[in-house]
Structure 1
Amino acid sequence: MQEQELIALLERYRAGTATEEDLVFLESWYLSDHTAPVEEYGENFLIEDVSIVWNRLNKPVVRWYRWIPYTAAACIALFFLVRTFLFQPADDIRILEVEGALSQSEKLMPEKDGNDVMLTFSDGSSVKLDDEQRGIQMLDNHIYYKDGDGLLNVEKYEYVTVSVPHGGQYQVALSDGSIVILNAASSLRYPVVFKGEERKVELSGEAYFTVAKQPSNVDHGELKPFIVAVGDYQVQVHGTQFNVQGYSPALSTKVSLVTGKVSVHGKGPELEKGVFLVPGHQAHMKGEQVAVRMVDVQHEIAWKNGLFSFEGKKLTEVMDELARWYNVDVEYEGEVPNVSFFGRAHRSEKLIAILHLLKSADITYRLTTYDGQRKSKLVIVNKRKEGK
């Protein structure tokens, strides 16, 4: 590949328009022994030419550049983003020493998508869904699997709740044709059939919505609104695609709009009036406070495509996401290390691969099991002494 072609490929990556073929090339190039590029460009390629290429790209990349040696920065930044993530120590944090055996993490693989997904009905009864299936659909008071196999008649129930475990992901097609993809440790409560002049569902956790447009029963010139209730907030839409993350009332709730238009409502001066979003924007709510910012929505919905995206996330955010996927408890000893991460990794990776990357960030941790080795705990240890 010529230098101009490489520049064009990297620019596509930064713009979010890189194809799967582009990503495969970057990954395979890095994982190779680099002999072909070195022969083509000469021995100084990694030190000189790559830095020239990198400098022609968007400046935000330089935000972490000064923190690692010159040559390593060029190699990792260009060719290791597909499989791993980078880190940026804050100015006030000391590099920590790593300790802890990780042999136990070999057996900690993410659960198979859809494994132990449960359906709970309005009378309190429940049924475990087929492990081999990846989704269900509602049609004429019946529930079918995504592949068309019949499941059961739910005419006597008003509501159904789908619960996805740690390490799972599941798709639900609602009776109006809307599609909901649920992330790990999430649940969705919804009517078997939407009645009245609104379509309302209740979310706990994270989900990606593709909402079908539906005419109002009263006025065919109006569309029946679709409402997602998540904690103390409501997201109202007509026909659009968006992501909602609301795992805990104690944490912030995020609504990221991909296409269309939504409004977010809740308590407080701004939220009571409704905060409107346009594509590429995210509403970040906590209590009665709300902030709207521009985001790269592809990072926000990376989970839907089988990826972890750690762009600009703090250690606690990264650990929360890993805990939900690998089903581990995370605890901190001492002050939480002030570290930010960048890049992405495949959710099919073993936990040990992700944990080994913490070593590169000089983060101290240990992994233990308890409750008869049925549960695992990841402890992040900060050994920094006050005044150091």
Structure 2
Amino acid sequence: MYDVIIIGAGPAGLSAAATTANQGLEVLVVDEYMKAGGRLLGQLYEEPDGTYWNGIKESNHLYERANQSGAEIKLGTSILNIEKSGDVWLVYTEKDTYETSHLLLATGAAESPSPVPGWTLPGVMSVGAAQVMTNVHRVKPGKRGVIIGVNPLAAVIASELQMAGVEVTALTLPQMNGLNEEAAHPKQVMNQLLHVAHMAPSALIRQGSKWMKPSIMQDLGITFYPKSGFKMWGIPVHLRKAVTEILGDEKVAAVKLATVKPNGDVIEGTEEIITCDFVCIAGGLYPLTELAAVAGCPFYLVDELGGYVPLHNERMETALDGLYVAGNITGIEGAKVAIAQGVTAGLTMASNHGVQGLKDRIEQSIEEIEQTRDNAPFHFHPDVKKGKQIVQEKWEEMMAAEQPL
């Protein structure tokens, strides 16, 4: 029996563990991976102030903090099921069953790559897999690659691959189909990129993006977008070309690229072949919410946050007594926001367990989440603040509906 159990040893889970254990509670952290850090492990990028965000170093720091606080951390341990029995949450693993009155789900996010003809060939992988291979395991995914999908995550990982000595030939759109209309529509993709254009290494792109806010300017920009693309870190970024097929006999050998109209339709007869030995598909991230669903937590679909998210309040409490959420399970954001949410969840769990005098600290931690979000150099979803407001409104509606007349 633990005072608190945290599922997920990523930035949110480790932050919550240190915060809660420092309040004198007995804390267990469980994660299926062999190393703590979650998606933070693969991150390595330059921040606006010129410093580098090194995910491995940050993960090690968070892990040491949690360890020093007295939290117990079990890695390489998969969760089979969770359920509520009276006032106790039961957490089933392959070897043992654990009990707690306060359970935090910090399960993070997963990738959702869109299918492309030929995507079952060896050498095709998600963009996150290439990031982990390169930054965590120090193994190059190949010598020359193409990234299908133009979004902030793809751009960051493309730069990381370049730093590792891997040639990225192009960032390009997928061919439009029924599953990827938003990711394959040139204007919609341009609108997404405008929210991160201030981070572009090219002064031309940074300055030019300021004139592209009006819709009519975006229409003109897409219509006259260069056939050779704009280069970022020396990588051509194509908004008027799409991969129609990945080619190869026993493994990836090339991709077939075609010019597309401003509405995303392929222009017949414009196909060309680009040789490569690996392909990354960047379809974005979605919250990993399976355990919250198993528990019976209410959900709401919020596109601005990446998909279905469990309804929760600012204190990271869900509608189920003793169940909390933090990190990307609440919506796709950066690791710094996840760390801040972990602090709030940790303080809330300690307060609900009976630790006194935490009200002001909880309120301050909620404000720090907002400040961290406001100061983020970019957002995976441009309207994330709108998404958070939707969740808050739905939470309030649910709470009002449960009040007796």
- How does the TM-score come out when normalised to structure 1? 0.20
- Greater C-alpha Rg: 1
- How does the TM-score come out when normalised to structure 2? 0.19
Larger RCO (CA within 8 A; separation ≥ 6): 2
Query: Whose strand fraction is larger, Structure 1's or Structure 2's?
Result: 1
Query: Whose helix fraction is larger, Structure 1's or Structure 2's?
Result: 2
